[in-house]
A and B are shown apart, each in its own frame.
Chain A
Amino acid sequence: MGLFILRRLLLAIPVIFGIILITFLLQRLIPGDPCRAVLGERATDEICDAFFARMGLNEPLPVQFLLYTGNILRGDFGDSLRYGRAISDLMAERLPVTIELGLIAMVFAIVFGVPLGIISAYYRNSAVDVGTMVGANIGVSMPVFWLGLMLAYIFSVALKDTIFVLPPSGRLPAGYEVIPFFVSWGIAPDVNSASAGLIFLSRLNFLNAALTLNLDLFFTALRYMILPAVAVGTIPLAIIARMTRSSVLETLGQDYVRTARSKGLAEIFVVMNHAVRNALLPVVTVIGLNFSLLISGAVLTETIFGLTGVGRTLVDGITTRDYNLVQGFTILIAVGFVMINLAVDILYGYLDPRIRMR
């Protein structure tokens, strides 16, 4: 298993190298003068010369690439022109929002998708099955940003006077004060004296709520996260339900399931322990592949729901032509995606020993 993990890790290195190369080329390929693209059309030649020297843009391309890679490996993505702050700081501030959104969306997709798939397979061609599959087909075809907008309308306008009303934007109500866990634990007196890692963790609302046993924060954050998570999680839910259904259908027809039945095992035991257990492997792969959808979903829905996460920052960077920001966040997302795929690969190898042998 150790060798398997090592091999997968080594395979990820050239891919990450490729990602850095593509984003490096991004800024070099954008037509026009990079200095005036960054500093504006009115920058004088002297200012531009200084800019080129400071950014290392006078060096030959291979040297520039080495400098660039070196900076990134040290966690230095440069400064954002729009915010005037280090991009790595912006990442630490905004990544928790997207992580939370992605995880809750995925939990939603798995918790509903897998049981729906199992029930559909077991009651094949019943009304439940047909309904689930029609719903799944529609779910896969919906644009995530449209679903987000419609959910926001339904739950905050159409159902305004009912108990189903949900907030359409933000992470927490305005003015809601969150006490970071490191303050209530006495690790650091305030945010300014805490380390970057602690601040990052404390920005994960659910983790912070769990660590400080703050139920109110937990449920408030959950209420705000429901609509974005449902929007982002619906397409993965549909895909997971479809995959689970076809996978369980296949295992239900296997000889060992018939044997289990003929031994007189209870039906629920036959289905859950024999059919479903063996059917979950391809489902795990599909769940892993769906992280790509979560990331696209985050890019498209964070703006709608007023969540200042990685996706929204990227879109803002594009509209304001803040190329440093676009570059940094592209690398962050792509490397995160590679890491998730790596984790899924390793998990898959763990679940199915045959994979490790290859």
Chain B
Amino acid sequence: MDATTTRPVKLNTPVLAPKAPRSSLWMDTGKYLLRNRSAVIGMILISLLIVIALFASVIATHDPLLPMIGQPGHTGRLPARAPCIHLLGCPAAEPEHYLGLDLNARDIFSRLVYGTRVSLVVGFTAVVFSIVSGTLLGMIAGYAGAWIDNLIMRLMDVLLAFPSLLLAIVIVTILGSGLQNALLAIAIVTIPVYARLARAQVLMVKELDYVTATKSLGASSGRILFFHIFPNSLTPLIVQGTLGIGTAVLDAAALSFIGLGAQPPIAEWGAMLSEARSYVFTAPHMVFFPGLAIMLTVLGFNLLGDGLRDALDPRLNRI
């Protein structure tokens, strides 16, 4: 007889698995972004810019288009006057202009503040336009294959064969100078980037089992493309789009700098630099601040884009 005593085991005790915390790709990404110092700096910069753009009329101290000549308290030679901040020792009798005046005696600080609106609108709109058209073209190319794919992608190759700024210049030359046309040109030159990305994603996703399953259930091509393939191809497009906003802001400023973008008297950073460039040796403040504004904006989007790329990269399995 077996002398060992065994403890009775309750067979029907439910095994309680520890409850997994709710998690999704976007929640994980958000958590990672908040831990990434560069991405946080990027987000702070972008948030600041958005606040400045939204509340430009409150933040700006003067009308951005109004020359100070003849305004109360403004005497002497006004164009290109250096910054005057009372706290930093500027005589109280002199009117305060944080970043000085430009060639037309307009307040540079207010012009910069309003310029934020222009730059952000141009950046966002150009990128949204090129993401929508590029993704559409890329998805059609990748999904349809055969000659449609060849036709679309070879056209994209030709567009990519131009240095992007040169192509933008050519397009604005055809369409005519102006901020809207510059925006359109910037959007067109970046279409190939998104088309290639979207096509590669579609080629990868369309072979997956869930797409085959949807197809066998009788879903139409359009439904498969937009409801099943598109949402699963979004990640690289979002990363590229964030980086793309920075590039668009930079390109818009460049086009305005060579006189093809924003036209006077619009307060646009590139145009402000262009107006001031001949005076860099005598009034460097007119050149310094608009350039700094462009740099900080582009830096913000670059830092956030890099952070997003790291956060969404499945190879860096750090979450």
Contact = CB atoms under 8 A, between A and B. Distances in A.
Nearest to B172: A318
A143 B169 contact: no
Interface stretch (B97-105, B128-136, B160-168): B160-168
A147 B254 CA distance: 12
A1 interface: no
Contacts of B174: 26, 29-30
A153 B158 contact: no
A337 B161 contact: yes
B31 interface: no
Contacts of B270: 143
Contacts of B250: 141, 143
Interface in B260-319: 260, 270, 273, 277, 280-281, 284, 287-288, 290-291, 294-296, 298-299, 302-303
A138 B166 contact: no
B166 A296 contact: yes
B161 A299 contact: no
Interface string A280-309: 000000000000100110011001100000
A326 B295 CA distance: 29
Contacts of A292: 163-164
Interface stretch (A16-24, A80-88, A270-278): A16-24
Contact of B295 (A138, A334, A338): A138
A31 B158 contact: no
Contacts of B235: none
A30 to B, nearest CB: 6
Contacts of A318: 169, 173, 258-260
Nearest to A303: B258
B291 A18 contact: no
A18 B161 contact: yes
Interface string A332-343: 011001100100
A31 B281 CA distance: 40
A355 interface: no
> SS class of chain A's interface: helix, strand, loop or mixed?
helix
A145 B295 CA distance: 12
Contact of A146 (B155, B163, B164, B294): B294
A299 to B, nearest CB: 6
Nearest to B254: A300
Given A137-B302, A140-B302, A149-B277, A30 B254 contact: no
B164 A296 contact: yes
Interface string A204-224: 000000000000000000000
B187 interface: no
Given A23-B170, A31-B176, A149 B163 contact: no
Nearest to B161: A15
Nearest to A335: B161
Nearest to B177: A318
Contacts of A18: 154-155, 157-158, 161
Nearest to B160: A15
A337 B163 contact: yes
A326 B294 contact: no
A175 interface: no
A314 B169 contact: yes
A99 interface: no
Given A143-B250, A150-B287, A299-B169, A337 B162 contact: yes
Contacts of A142: 291, 295, 298
A22 B277 CA distance: 32
A17 B88 CA distance: 61
Contacts of A30: 173-174
A319 interface: yes
A181 B52 CA distance: 59
Given A30-B174, A146-B295, A14 B154 contact: yes
B295 A141 contact: yes
A3 B49 CA distance: 53
Given A30-B173, A149-B273, A157-B281, A143 B291 contact: yes
Given A14-B154, A300-B257, 11 more contacts: A14-B158, A23-B170, A142-B291, A143-B254, A146-B287, A149-B273, A156-B281, A296-B166, A318-B260, A334-B166, A337-B166
Interface of B: 38, 154-155, 157-158, 161-166, 169-170, 173-174, 176, 246, 250, 253-254, 257-260, 270, 273, 277, 280-281, 284, 287-288, 290-291, 294-296, 298-299, 302-303
7 contacts: A14-B154, A142-B298, A143-B294, A296-B163, A296-B166, A334-B161, A337-B162
